[in-house]
Amino acid sequence: MSGVFTFDEAEHEYRLDGKRLPSVTQILKPLAPDFSAIPPAILERKRALGTAVHLACELDDNGELDEASLDEEVAGYLAGWRKFKAALRVEVLLNELRLYHPRLGYAGTLDRLVRTKADPWLLDLKTAAEPSPVYGPQLAAYQELLIASDMLMLPASDGPIRRASLHLDSEGNYSLHEFRNTNDWPA
């Protein structure tokens, strides 16, 4: 990959050499659930919570988390992430990695690439209770980003990457939802 790849956090905007790239989320918007009936204040609260949970998990993975600064609600979600990592003996390989596809011209942020004892997993951390039909195509698009970026340096013995959404809750629980549909990428 070449060129200057940037991400503007405030605008949630990816650019390559100054040219705006569509995000995976923007491309998949036609497949996403309709949230227009939900009050904007509730949507904003959920968005902020998701951002805080992602940051707490990222800082924890990097050994940089100041637990004293953690909101009590976010701490519950973090406990679920820790419980998942311990139960499956997870090794975090990549964490909150922003990538672009050099040929297809889109970008996105992969939440986690992890290895368990048995398999590599591409995970998307979620604070929603249930998986959405858009998560399978979302993870397939992230997997294509990973492949196209040459960041995929797993030993051949690891086998194919499994894709899943990992749902965390404020009580410290988690549930893993795997996506195996081979039509996720064509979607």
Identify the three-state secondary structure at position 121: strand
**Mean pLDDT across 116-142:** 93
Match 């992602």 to its residue by tokens: 54
Answer yes or no: pTM beyond 0.85: yes
State the pLDDT confidence band at 38, using cuts at 50, 70 and 90.
Answer: confident
How many Cβ atoms from other residues are within 10 Å of residue 147's Cβ?
12
Residue 88 reports pLDDT greater than 80: yes
Residue 54 reports pLDDT greater than 80: yes
Q: Are 183 and 93 a contacting pair, CB within 8 Å?
A: no
- CA 49 vs. chain centroid, Å, equals 14
The kind and range of the H/E element at 148 are: helix 135-148
**Which of 42-56, 141-155, 173-187 is least confident?**
141-155
